[in-house]
Amino acid sequence: MPGMTLASPLHDLPLEIHPVLPQRRDVRIGCIGAGFIMADCHLVAYKAAGLNPVAIASRHFERAQSVAARHGLPTVHRTVDELLADPNVEVLDIAVPPDVQLEIVREAVRHAGHIRGILAQKPLGVDLAEAREIVRLCREAGITLAVNQNMRYDQSIRGCRSLLRSGRLGEPVFASIDMRAVPHWMPWQERLGWVTLRIMSIHHLDAFRFLFGDPERVFASIRPDPRTARKFAHEDGLALYILVYANGLRAASWDDVWAGPALEGAGKDIGIRWRVEGTEGMARGTIGWPDYPNPTPSTLDYTTIHDAGVWHQPRWKEVWFPDAFLGTMAQLLCALEEGREPEISGDDNLQTMALVEACYVSAREHRAVSPRELLDRM
């Protein structure tokens, strides 16, 4: 792909921004949920790559029928239970609100004879305890569980990881994400009382884990979002947090879903920017998601001490929404094909869920909190 190859005195390595695809693309996928994420992200990405969704079910049968017709799915089940019992389904793609996931997984494991894998949405349940129960149920049933932490498959984030793994940036020193955006909140958030930490920040926290591994502790501060507070009570509107790593690295994010009175008549300054500074180079990027539905690719620029001040600017046509959603399903299908754990396994995602919970505890108790502290309590 043009612009994807690095040329420097020391390195001539491509950036690995695309997911590895399975050898078999005919694995039969059953889809649970017919909302935006399924209809406009999962199924769009699967169709483009030649994957094989064969059935769908939703609480709203007519909506499931509409989505099936749009994407050419041959079977529409009237209930989720019917889909789970369908022997033609090998892998489940569960795209439902987090407070419904555990109930569906409990029923799904009863059909472990033909269901071999599950891709579950993030967050994995409503809290760390539910996430751990989902992981336990799948493990005991012999079902391979993966979690749809799709920011790991944003092309700029994968490109940054490629730079880090190749050593081109040296040892990471500092990393940051600066989000100024006004998300479209889902109706179920009102009944759960959540805004940012489990919905938006979980992407950033998981991306930091993907890039740098698990931190020792986190400091977090949160406050309500004035706009959303007019609709329902919550504590986690704007979220600020700092991750502390054993090697001295600091990673921080400002998750600002207020972004000023941008919807109330003021001018807009919307965007998501990230930055990684290392001992031998720097990388910076933008996330194209806030421009959705306009297809806006994320970006990556980087420079190293070997480049005489030159900034490399690889570019691509793929976008986070919907293209990254191929990666989360593909890594599950590859794991099933190769008899191994997925890259984003249920066990791995417990670490992300613990980090999110640690942010809540830190903000409430005004102290640094180790995710390990919460995992060890259970």
Tens of pLDDT, residue by residue over 96-113, are 999 999 999 999 999 999
The yes/no answer on whether domain 155-319+351-371 falls in CATH 3.40.50.970 is: no
Single-letter amino acid, residue 372? R
C-alpha to C-alpha distance for 119 and 103, rounded to whole angstroms: 15
Structure token pair of residue 115:
């269901």
Which residues are bridge partners to 93 per DSSP?
31, 119
Tens of pLDDT, residue by residue over 290-300, are 899 999 999 99
pLDDT of residue 13: 73
Spatial contact of 35 and 334, defined as CB atoms under 8 Å apart: no
Select from 20, 97, 113, 128 the least CA-distant residue to 357: 128
Q: 10 Å Cβ neighbour count for 264?
A: 8
Pairing of strands 75-76, 52-57: parallel
Tens of pLDDT, residue by residue over 330-352, are 999 999 999 999 999 999 999 99
Select from 293, 233, 232, 224 the least CA-distant residue to 258: 224
9, pLDDT greater than 60: no
Query: What's the pTM value of the predicted model, to 2 decimals?
Result: 0.95
pLDDT of residue 207: 98
Q: DSSP letter string over 300-325?
A: EEEEETTTTTPPB----S--TTTTHH
Select from 68, 44, 46 the least CA-distant residue to 57: 68
Tens of pLDDT, residue by residue over 187-243, are 999 999 999 999 999 999 999 999 999 999 999 999 999 999 999 999 999 999 999
Fold agreement (28-151+337-344, 155-319+351-371): no
Torsion of CA 34, 202, 210, 348, to 10 degrees: -70
pLDDT of residue 254: 98
C-alpha to C-alpha distance for 151 and 206, rounded to whole angstroms: 8
C-alpha to C-alpha distance for 135 and 151, rounded to whole angstroms: 21
Tens of pLDDT, residue by residue over 116-127, are 999 999 999 999
- Only one residue has tokens 């992300």, namely 352
SS3 assignment, position 255: strand
Q: How far is CA 265 from the centre of its chain?
A: 32
Which residues are bridge partners to 94 per DSSP?
32, 120
Tens of pLDDT, residue by residue over 32-69, are 999 999 999 999 999 999 999 999 999 999 999 999 99
355, pLDDT greater than 60: yes
Q: Where are the domains of the chain?
A: 28-151+337-344, 155-319+351-371
Pairing of strands 271-278, 172-180: antiparallel
* 3-state secondary structure labels for all residues of 195-206: CCHHHHHHHHHH
6, pLDDT greater than 70: no
Q: How far is CA 162 from the centre of its chain?
A: 18
Q: How far is CA 12 from the centre of its chain?
A: 30
What would the CATH number be for the domain defined by 28-151+337-344? Answer: 3.40.50.720
What counts of helices (H) and strands (E) characterise the chain? 13, 13
C-alpha to C-alpha distance for 355 and 373, rounded to whole angstroms: 10
Tell me the pLDDT of the chain averaged across its residues: 95
Q: Identify the band that residue 12 occupies on the pLDDT scale cut at 50, 70 and 90.
A: low
pLDDT of residue 8: 42
SS3 assignment, position 169: coil
